[in-house]
Amino acid sequence: MGIIDGKMVASQIKGNIADEIKILEQKTGKIPGLAVVLVGDDPASAVYIRNKNKTCKKLGFQSFENILPENTSELTLLNLIDTLNNNDRVNGILVQLPLPSHISSNKILEAIDPKKDVDGFHLENVGRLVTGNATFKPCTPAGIIQLLDHYEVNIDGKNAVVLGRSNIVGKPIFFLLMERNATVTICHSHTKNLSTITQSADILIAAIGKPNFVTKDMVKNGAVVIDVGINRVGDKLVGDVDFQPVLNKVNLITPVPGGVGPMTIAMLMLNTLQAFKNFISLKI
């Protein structure tokens, strides 16, 4: 049994990114730029944005912060996206979700230039992911694969079970695991005999947003458990997995916090670096 250290793996990835940016800046005189858009004053989103800005500065990225009031119109936001699409110093655009209810998330995500869609949510990039030709893999699922690789978890031929079918985690991780020759089952609120399915998982990924939902009896001995959930219970952050009892039964498990979370920002930076490299190769 062992704990997967997402902070350590993310730190290594970010160190490699910082080194590469220095080399690219010497060669081109340019650095990658990431624009973050936040509408409203959701405290969790604000913390996330602050962390992204700090990471940008630390790694040598240029950060473009756009914080708009809650009552911003859809048209104003679309105009901002258009401006960022046409700014050559911006290589990646990230719109913080959820957006206020009067703004269509789909319309906004579709307005982002697919070449700058570092979240991988544009329909063109989703299509590329589904067909195995991803330009940008969504950050959290990509981070999960990186963690499995770092800890030398063999995905090929394994039974993988994913709890949750969101467009952000559940669906994309399904395709990434299948690309690596896993046999993948997605479970959701309508799934019958859930425990029977989870007990068959060599790799179990929980992304449903229900604190301590996955209990010890739902998990196979020696499984690898990836907990994507971040739930506030009192003054504590807990995952979707009942961590301590499950830890004693499995081979590897991610903690919350400190597991998948740090990888999401590392993958965002990696995608932005890739977008920058794609852009400069077009310009050369």
Cα separation of 284 and 278, whole Å?
A: 10
- Express as a percent the part of the chain with pLDDT over 90: 92
pLDDT value of position 283 = 64
pLDDT band at residue 186, thresholds of 50, 70 and 90?
Answer: very high
What is residue 99's DSSP assignment? P
pLDDT band at residue 42, thresholds of 50, 70 and 90?
Answer: confident
pLDDT, tens digit, 9 for 90 and up, residues 106-140: 999 999 999 999 999 999 999 999 999 999 999 99
Give the residues across from 253 on adjacent strands. 3, 225
- The catalytic residue positions are 52, 96, 119
The mean pLDDT of 71-78, rounded to a whole number, is 97
**What's the Cα-to-Cα distance from 3 to each of 93, 147, 213, 244, 260, rounded to whole Å?**
33, 11, 19, 11, 12
- Express as a percent the part of the chain with pLDDT over 70: 99
pLDDT, tens digit, 9 for 90 and up, residues 47-64: 878 888 899 999 999 999
Beta sheet of 62-68, edge-to-edge order: 62-68, 33-39, 92-95
